[in-house]
Amino acid sequence: MYQITERAPSATALIAVDRAGHAERWSFSRVAEAAQGLAATLSASGLVAGDRVLILMPRIAQWQVAMLACLHLGVIPVPCVTQVSAAEVDYRVARSGAVGAITDRRFLDKLAGPQDRLRVRLACGGGDGWQDLDAATRSTASAPPPAAMPAEAPALMYFTSGSSGPPKPVLHAARGLYVRSRQPWAQLGIADGDVIWTTSDTGWTRAASCLLFGAWMNGATAVMHDGATDSLAKLEALERFAVSCFGAVATELRLIMAQTAPRPLPALRFTLSAGEAMTAELAHGWRAFSGAPLLVGYGQTETPTATLTEPNAEPLNGMIGRPMEGNRVTVLDEAGNEAAPGVPGQIAFDRSDAGLMLGYWDDGACSLPVRHGHWYLTGDTGSRDSVGNIFFVGRDDDIISSGGYRIGPTEVENALMAHPAVAECAVAASPDALRGEVVKGFVVLRPGHAPSDTLAATLQQHVRQAIAPYKYPRRIDFVDALPRTASGKLSRRLLRESEFKSQYVTSPKGTPR
């Protein structure tokens, strides 16, 4: 980033948009000066390479400045999702061993518990016991030289979303940051003049991958928008800031199409999506709406975004694309061999993949779980086709075992989403006395549609006709909203747990009791 600052100091690095919609442009030189000023302050506070600092901040320019300042010193930033509770923040401070925190005044109440355990405390606007962050960035002291970071040096920590248990601290190496600066940006040709925006929370890996490493390591402009909370505001921002690469989850794209009218977006070259299952219907719909292809990638908190669909490839339900250059990711059978095309197995990364985590952090120790000699198993079920495309089936713990069949929820959800009455849906296991488990659909309806037994039967028949009949949802609940984790991902686990806690079963004849 400093090299780009030397090459083009006045180029726009960042467009920061506040909650009122006011936009402020930051040059690369301004960002670099603020980051170096903050690095000087943090160094004077006693922070050294390897220390962990929790960063809990909204979508504002100071988040990027804080991240850069930590990386400058070799201090390990721990970005935190802003929706977490005070107890969850306390948990993250304790599990990461953080010795400092950088935040915004609006979140000080969430840090009240661990405040006395943090020897370095900075907040936008200051606060009782908190140094003013903006003043810290204006330090006139000289920052030490940027830390020399060997490839294996610990550099960045995230917490998993908690979709399959308590959130775990994931430690990434410096090599992983380099991978995030190259993929998928080199493949997409991102360079000077591009404008990248993702609506991601700053605690998600996608924020840093897009708005820090992806944009600034390639000379592009990042958009940090703290106010685009509804579909119309997002569409207007795409147009107003001439965004060329937009990152959003599938649910957001569906809402934009449902709640706004299409408008020309000539600057938009790509839309990137990950984190939720993708459907061919959505890909076709978004391209017709925006004029831009919808590309799908696959990755986890523990891994890089390792696959990507092709801009001109025919969209297929569940397809997450081929491995990008340098990534060794495939689908393994139960014996640890590469599964034959069309045969489901577990998506796995070779432990030599440069973007793969160092491991799970536990009080100074770091462990990378591997199986079959050298494979990290993701816990996601997938399959391959004959030309190397990988298809996402579902989380291992989301798979439904019904009457001897193993059913992935994603395929059923894709079929439900193709019905015009369905706005959102999720599929989970529900206990059944005859089959052990049955498929249950949880459906959020579009405006103009009302829950009814007739509509439920219609949806069931629709799925029977779209996929193998044994996969259809034998039960359907109409709900107002779907449960999500703190990182915004759909939580099928909560649905499943709710079903089994309620001990809803059926008699052998299928009559609910």
Residue 218 identity: N
Q: In the predicted model, what is the mean pLDDT of the chain? A: 91
Does some domain include residue 452?
yes
Does some domain include residue 124?
no
Does some domain include residue 180?
no
> Please, which pLDDT band fits residue 155 given cuts at 50, 70 and 90?
very high
Tell me the pLDDT tens digit for each residue of 384-438.
Answer: 999 999 998 877 778 787 866 778 788 899 899 999 999 999 999 999 877 778 9
What is the pLDDT, as a whole number, of residue 433? Answer: 76
Token pair, residue 57, equals: 């901040």
Does some domain include residue 450?
yes
What is the pLDDT, as a whole number, of residue 293? Answer: 96
Residues 6+ apart with CB under 8 A from 437: 400, 401, 402, 429, 430, 431
Measure the CA–CA gap between 33 and 26, rounded to whole angstroms.
11
Helix ranges, 402-503 (H): 409-417, 453-466, 492-502
> Which residue, 434, 417, 442, 422, is CA-closest to 493?
442
Say which range, 103-107, 249-253, 310-314, 425-429, has the weakest mean pLDDT: 249-253
Residue 458 identity: T
> Which residue, 372, 414, 376, is CA-closest to 392?
414
Q: Which CATH number goes with the domain that contains 496?
A: 3.30.300.30
Q: Which letter does DSSP use for residue 276 in this model? A: S
> Please, which pLDDT band fits residue 249 given cuts at 50, 70 and 90?
confident
Tell me the pLDDT tens digit for each residue of 260-300.
Answer: 999 889 999 999 998 766 788 899 999 999 999 999 999 99
User: Is the confidence at residue 508, as pLDDT, over 50?
Assistant: no
Does some domain include residue 477?
yes
User: Is the confidence at residue 511, as pLDDT, over 60?
Assistant: no
Average pLDDT for residues 344-360, to the nearest whole number?
A: 96
Q: Which domain holds residue 429?
A: 400-505
C-beta of residue 246 within 8 angstroms of C-beta of residue 252 = no
C-beta of residue 355 within 8 angstroms of C-beta of residue 304 = yes
Does some domain include residue 419?
yes
Buried b (16+ CB within 10 A) or exposed e, 235-264: bebbeebbbbbbbbbbbbbbbbbeebeeee
Enclosing H/E stretch for 39 = helix 28-44
Residue 267 identity: A
Sign of CA dihedral 66, 69, 73, 74: positive
- Strand order, beta sheet including 131-132: 76-79, 52-56, 100-104, 120-124, 131-132
What is the pLDDT, as a whole number, of residue 512? Answer: 28
Does some domain include residue 433?
yes
Per-residue CA distances from 438 to 40, 173, 385, 396, 406 (Å): 59, 42, 28, 16, 10
Does some domain include residue 322?
no
Query: Looking at the 3D structure of the chain, how many domains does it have?
Result: 1
Token pair, residue 286, equals: 């978004």
User: Is the confidence at residue 503, as pLDDT, over 60?
Assistant: no
Measure the CA–CA gap between 206 and 204, rounded to whole angstroms.
5
Sign of CA dihedral 387, 389, 394, 395: positive
pTM of the model: 0.83
What is the pLDDT, as a whole number, of residue 84? Answer: 83
Compute the half-sphere exposure of residue 270: CA atoms within 13 Å on the CB side of its CA.
23
- Strand order, beta sheet including 422-432: 422-432, 436-445, 475-478
What is the pLDDT, as a whole number, of residue 434? Answer: 73
